[in-house]
Amino acid sequence: MTGGLGCTLALSSSLFANSGIFPDETQKFVREARFYDKLENKKIRCKLCPRQCVIDERERGYCGVRENREGTYYTLVYARPCSLNADPVEKKPLFHYYPGSAAFSLATAGCNVNCKFCQNWEISQVRPEEVRSYYLLPEEIANLAGKYECQSIAYTYSEPTIYYEYMMDCALAGKRKNIKNVVITAGYIAKDPLTELCKVVDAIKVDLKSFSDKYYREIVNGELQPVLDSLVTMRKLDMWTEIVYLVVPTLNDGDQEFRDLSAWIKSNLGSDVPVHFTRFHPQYLLKNLPPTPVKTLERAKEIADAEGLHYVYVGNVPGHPGENTCCPQCKKIIVQRTGFTVQKMDIKNGQCLYCNYKIAGKWGI
Ligand code: SF4
């Protein structure tokens, strides 16, 4: 194993000799869940995400990682990450959040939506017993982030909402060590847990998958409105937020949808929220569609720019000029990127070096 950015931490690594893997000792991953009500006949209602699953005894919720045992609800993935990497924060992508810094990234199995284009379906669409996992308590995660010289811990790859208890404790452990916390989410989370989360973490990237409820129902197996509500809550709580919109050919790539989405963002979240229009590659259940034409992404950017958004990006097209940040006032390139690498940054004290315009975001740790 090698260290540094982009490295994957192998499951067999001696790094975890004290932690070990205990596939048959699953009890240690079990903690009482938060945000649920006890109902009659030992049923429970989970209130963590908009699904609000009602669950019989010995059953699990939709996400597959929370279980009703004799009328008490438990998470089965506490301290049970199945994926660990040290990534550039640009890979999340977060472009206005300490550019060039590293994020210690983790995920457990499970998800509360089922996107037909999911690139991490091997961990998101399975139960925790179906993947090999580490046993890493929150303090150990914070220690590893420090060891790998990561400025933040990123909750990512699958859907962090479903490992909420673990994420919260890792975030608190990170905070105690001056390590920041970023969440990469579909935003499909209920208001109370989101509000609490926003008090602890530093930035959230939301995958807004479409601006159509029909798309959410057919392609994501969710609903649009709760995601929009989450974005508004984040805005009200002054959380640094960036939005990714994966442009899928024929399904969510219409000019009017780009226009409506951009107008909604501007009037509800403001012009300064970065929006990344990213390229789809065929995978999982959407192998029948081609990759997104670069021209479509450029058109999406043009429309969002014209609607008045200040920071619109083209994503998943390494080397494209749409990866750069331009100053909204003087229009000069102030952050130049190639893929996940920052080539130059002309921002000082949060201001454009050329015209002193205040650039939205967090700059320089
Ligand atoms: S977090 Fe899981 S169990 Fe809870 S409501 Fe959402 S899908 Fe259902």
Cβ–Cβ < 8 Å for 89, 182: yes
Does 5 or 218 have the greater pLDDT score?
218
Task: Please give the distance, rounded to the nearest whole angstrom, from the Cα atom of residue 181 to the centre of ligand 1.
Answer: 23
pLDDT at 3 over 80: no
Ligand 1 first shell, C-beta below 6 A: 46, 48-49, 51-53, 61-63, 66, 112, 162
CA-nearest residue, atom 6 of ligand 1: 49
- Structure pTM? 0.93
Mean pLDDT for all residues in the chain: 93
Q: Whose CA is nearest to atom 5 of ligand 1?
A: 52
Q: What is the pLDDT of residue 364?
A: 79
What average pLDDT score do residues 103-109 get? 97
Ligand 1 centroid, distance to 120 Cα (angstroms)? 19
Distance 110 CA to ligand 1 centre (A): 10
Ligand 1 atom having least distance to the Cα of 66: 3
143 pLDDT above the threshold of 80: yes
* Rounded Cα–Cα distance for residues 356 and 365 (Å): 20
Q: Which residues pair with 7 in a beta bridge?
A: 86
pLDDT of residue 13: 38
Contacts of 241 (CB under 8 A, 6+ apart): 203, 204, 205, 206, 231, 234, 235, 269, 273
Determine the pLDDT at residue 1.
31
The mean pLDDT value for 286-314 works out to: 98
The Cα–Cα gap between 357 and 135 comes to 47
Residue 66, pLDDT > 80, answer: yes
Q: Is the distance from CB of 261 to CB of 306 less than 8 angstroms?
A: no
| Mean pLDDT computed over 95-104 | 97
205 CA from centroid of ligand 1 (Å): 20
> Could you tell me how many residues make up the chain?
365
Task: Give per-residue pLDDT as tens, 226-285.
Answer: 999 999 999 999 999 999 999 999 999 999 999 999 999 999 999 999 999 999 999 999
Report the SS3 class of residue 232.
Answer: helix
The pLDDT of 163-177, averaged and rounded, is: 98
Ligand 1, atom 3: closest residue by C-alpha? 61
